[in-house]
Amino acid sequence: MKHLCSAALATTMATGALAHEITVDNCGEPLVFDAAPERIVVHDMNMTDMVFALGLQDKVVGLTGITGWYKTSPDFDEMRGDIPELAPKYPTVENLVAVEPDMFFAGWYYGMKPGGDVTPDTLAPFGIKTMVLTESCVHLNKDRPVASMDLLFDDVLRLGKVMHVEDKAETLVTGWKDELGNIEAQTSKLEKPRVFLLDGPADAPFTAGKFAIPDAMISAAGGTNVTHDMDTSWGRTSWEAVAAANPEFLVLLDYQGGQSAADTFQFLKDHPVMSQIDAVKNERWIGLRYEELTPGPANIQAISKMAQAMHPGLN
């Protein structure tokens, strides 16, 4: 009888464990947790903003990839509190293992590189599971849908599911969808300017293709991305190709404290080819921060800013 009871208890415990398993999609593969992670490390400002928006600071044991590239905001610093930064740019396996996390929230070229030292496969032996930013999945699998705002919405919802804060995630996403609907209702019947996004001066322009979230953001703001046909998320094109499309409006990355949007616009004014496009001649541009143009909570307000700058007189 004692052995039968023990067997029944073991079965019950196993069934209970299975009942509490959490499974979410991770670049087309299941990511399974037996319980909500208690210790997480987050890479980059945009993903950190997602975590902070869900009020998960008490679960974060470290950040990576913040101060090596970006100037933070007072709001970000206040939400971060005393959470340590483990590496200012890309982390090492040692950086991560040292704080014993259950989960690393990062992406391809957002803290990880295909074939690099830090990948889901290199972290798995240390008991660290990796949630991959959906926008970045295209770097390993080109069979992905074109960018939409679901890149933000779905990542926040699956993060909410994994961390057992589904209600918060759903409330956030519902609010963002309402805001987005209001913007799109105002811009849907307006003429759509040709828009080019530029991430700083370079010999070959670094910009957003059809798999990067700015492509969807530009569309939602009532514009047309002139590099939509690029078969990538973020990548390089040529100045001649951009000039041939003759953009009417520019979105410029504003690395405050570093390469500012104003600096980049001056570069374009001095450029022998780009100085001739309509957007430069008419000085029609907006500067937006990195976290506003990568998947994260700042996207919705950034779309509103773009819409108002593209369409003067819009409420």
Provide the CATH number for the domain around residue 212: 3.40.50.1980
Whether 126 is covered by a domain: the verdict is: yes
Q: Is the pLDDT of residue 5 over 70?
A: no
Question: Looking at the structure, do residues 138 and 221 belong to the same domain, yes or no?
Answer: no
Report in angstroms the alpha-carbon separations of 285 from 115, 126, 165, 193. Answer: 37, 47, 38, 12
Question: Looking at the structure, do residues 50 and 117 belong to the same domain, yes or no?
Answer: yes
The last residue of a domain, from among 79, 111, 144: 144
Whether 289 is covered by a domain: the verdict is: yes
Query: DSSP character for 133?
Result: P
Q: Residue 40 pairs with which residues in a beta bridge? A: 60, 103
Whether 25 is covered by a domain: the verdict is: yes
Q: 314 or 154: whose pLDDT is higher? A: 154
227 burial (CB, 10 Å; 0-12 / 13-18 / 19+) is buried
Can you give the residue range of the structural domain that contains 82?
20-144
Residue type, 182: N
Question: Looking at the structure, do residues 114 and 42 belong to the same domain, yes or no?
Answer: yes
Q: Is the pLDDT of residue 6 over 60?
A: no
Report residue 140: phi and psi, to 5°: -110, -15
How are strands ordered across the β-sheet holding 249-253? 224-225, 194-198, 249-253, 285-288
What tokens appear for 200 in the block? 């700083």
Cβ atoms within 10 Å of 99's Cβ, excluding its own: 15
Whether 139 is covered by a domain: the verdict is: yes
Residue with structure tokens 């209970």? 16
Whether 84 is covered by a domain: the verdict is: yes
Whether 66 is covered by a domain: the verdict is: yes
Q: Is the pLDDT of residue 112 over 90?
A: yes
Cβ-Cβ contacts under 8 Å for 210 (sequence gap 6 or more): 146, 147, 225, 228, 229, 230, 231, 232
pTM: 0.91
Question: Looking at the structure, do residues 240 and 135 belong to the same domain, yes or no?
Answer: no
Count: domains in the chain: 2
Q: Lowest mean pLDDT: which of 13-22, 109-118, 175-184, 241-250?
A: 13-22
296 burial (CB, 10 Å; 0-12 / 13-18 / 19+) is buried
The last residue of a domain, from among 144, 178, 199: 144
Whether 272 is covered by a domain: the verdict is: yes
Whether 112 is covered by a domain: the verdict is: yes
pLDDT of residue 315: 65
